[in-house]
Amino acid sequence: MKLKNYFLLILLAALWGPSFLFIKIAVVDISPIMMAAMRIGFAAIFLNVFLLMRRIKLPKDKTFWKHVALAGFFAQALPFILINWGEQYIDSGLASIINGLTPLSTVVLAHFTISAERLSAKKLVGVALGFTGLVVLSLPKLTNGFDAAFLGIVAVTLGAVSYAIGLVYSRKYLSKAKPMHAPAGQLLACSIYMVPLAFIFDSQTVFSQIGTPAWVSIFVLSFFGTAVAFVVYFNLIERAPASFVSLVTYIMPIFGIALGTIFLDEVITSTMVFGMLLILSGILIVNIRLKFLKPKIAEDQVVAR
């Protein structure tokens, strides 16, 4: 594997991993739905200007735009709202760990929707390990009943599942789209319905009261965590196997936990470490190729955060 591919992999993790820190900062001043709309809207502008500069035109057919609108809802709009909401009640480091369930959820969903990606015994073991990790992370929050912290875990988990739905849908209906067309189209389509909805349903955000840290966080999330990350991601998947790209899932929690600990004084518990190890072990088992088994027909990928 070329050294540049490893550099791109680390860069991608460095772009996606800190997202959970900046979400935690921004959600103090901005409501979850408004933050999602702002992130998507600004990212759509950044990414589509990038395509214009490279003279890349998006398709005009209605089928493409129908698919990117639906894929974008599950891959960006819904998970952004859910994770934003969840991080009001749980640490950013914990959210970054739970987000690791995305590739495992993808494996399960792909089994029922894509004939070439059926569950095997090895994949079932990996999925079981991963979701056992989720149970380990959730149990301490249930000591006081279904409190806000537990509901935060549920919200972030549903966000990870939504990412998986968006990825599976994109595989099925957008796999033939040219690189960058699908993400740019998704963000543009999402912004068209997300921005008006945010203003209709948001009753908390007062723009004049948004502090500088929150504005900086939105810029970082939109530009680096979404637009630039998409460019790096698609550059990487054009150069390396999907199994290599999926390694970013192992690196992201390192950034998420470290940054949360350094800047937000979040505490790393033994339960978090154990739960993370279970989830990452599940991802490893799902993705690893065993020599005595036949090669996989299709590899699992990750999606942008």
C-alpha distances (whole Å) from 25 to each of 21, 91, 93, 249 are 6, 11, 13, 22
* CA–CA separation, 94 and 257 (whole Å): 7
242: pLDDT confidence band, cut at 50, 70 and 90?
low
What is the mean pLDDT of the segment spanning 202-229? 92
Q: Which pTM does this prediction carry?
A: 0.87
User: In b/e form, how buried is each residue of 153-175, taking b as 16+ CB within 10 angstroms?
Assistant: bbbbbbbbbbbbbbbbbbbebbe
Which has the higher per-residue pLDDT, 218 or 167?
A: 218
What is the mean pLDDT of the segment spanning 75-98? 94
In the prediction, which pLDDT does 137 show? Answer: 85
Which has the higher per-residue pLDDT, 296 or 206?
A: 206
In the prediction, which pLDDT does 184 show? Answer: 93
Helix (H) or strand (E) holding 155: helix 148-173
Q: What is the pLDDT of residues 173-206, one digit of tens each?
A: 888 888 789 899 999 999 999 999 999 999 778 8
In the chain, the amino acid numbered 106 is T
Cβ–Cβ < 8 Å for 206, 22: no
In the prediction, which pLDDT does 249 show? Answer: 82
Write down the mean pLDDT value for the chain.
86
Q: Enumerate residues 6+ apart whose C-beta is below 8 A from 64.
A: 58, 174, 177, 181, 185
In the prediction, which pLDDT does 144 show? Answer: 62
250: pLDDT confidence band, cut at 50, 70 and 90?
confident
In the prediction, which pLDDT does 301 show? Answer: 46
Helix (H) or strand (E) holding 302: none
In the prediction, which pLDDT does 198 show? Answer: 95
In the prediction, which pLDDT does 305 show? Answer: 61
